[in-house]
Amino acid sequence: MPFSEIEQRCRPYLEDLLRIVIDQGDGRFTGNLFYVDLTAAKGLVPDESLRWKRENLAALSKDAKSGLEIGFAAGHSALLMLLSNPNLMLTVVDPCEYRHTVPCFEYLEEKFPGRLAFVSGYSPSALASLEDQAYDLVHLDGGKDLTIRGDLDAIKRLVKTGHVLCVDDTQNPGVDAEVTRRVSRRELVVSDFAEMNSRSMQSVWTHCICRYS
């Protein structure tokens, strides 16, 4: 399938991020919204199985003013959000477990001056330093089942009225169980995002778009 418009715009930045990962990293790499592993990243062709994740997050980013991303890694999803909306201000939280994380952030900070802030640390404790009701879009892609409960508790005070929460990796049984539990208890509302969530479910890699009730 041909590259989408946003994928085309991302391509030169993806090439630069790959060089940073290879030249300044330690050989470790985690999957993201473009590639499932480093071998795929070296091919520079966005994985089709992740297309709906990219399309959904790009669409959500267009309507946001202040975004929060938990889990930056090499910056692929942050890049997608920044290119999707030239006015979006983005705060990222990451524990810097990968050697390439800080160089990748510094690269994006140079390319998108004044639009990025970095908070180093593990969620949910790192979220305690952030301002209440500051964000209208949150991309939660952190510690998966290990932190999902604490993350969802901590994020609630950080979001504005009318916010959107994109919880990544709901193919992870622990993440899915916690999101499903909160939806069933009406702590999270998914009804406004049925079409996007349905698209996500077409792939083995899924996310849940919702908001706090």
The set of residues, in sequence order, having a beta carbon less than 8 Å from that of 89 and lying 6+ positions away, is 65, 66, 67, 115, 116, 117
Q: Distance between CA 32 and CA 117 in Å, rounded?
A: 20
Low-confidence ranges of the chain (pLDDT < 70): 1-2
Domain of residue 46, CATH code: 3.40.50.150
Query: Nearest 5°: phi and psi at 117?
Result: -135, 145
pTM for this predicted structure: 0.96
Q: What is the pLDDT of residue 2?
A: 57
| CB of 168 closer than 8 Å to CB of 147 | no
**How many domains, in total, are found in the chain?**
1
pLDDT of residue 5: 87
Q: What is the domain extent for residue 83?
A: 5-212
Q: What is the distance between the alpha carbons of residues 120 and 112, in angstroms, rounded to a whole number? A: 19
pLDDT of residue 4: 86
Residue 45 CB neighbour total at 10 angstroms: 14
3-class SS of residue 180: helix
For residue 1, what pLDDT is reported?
Answer: 47
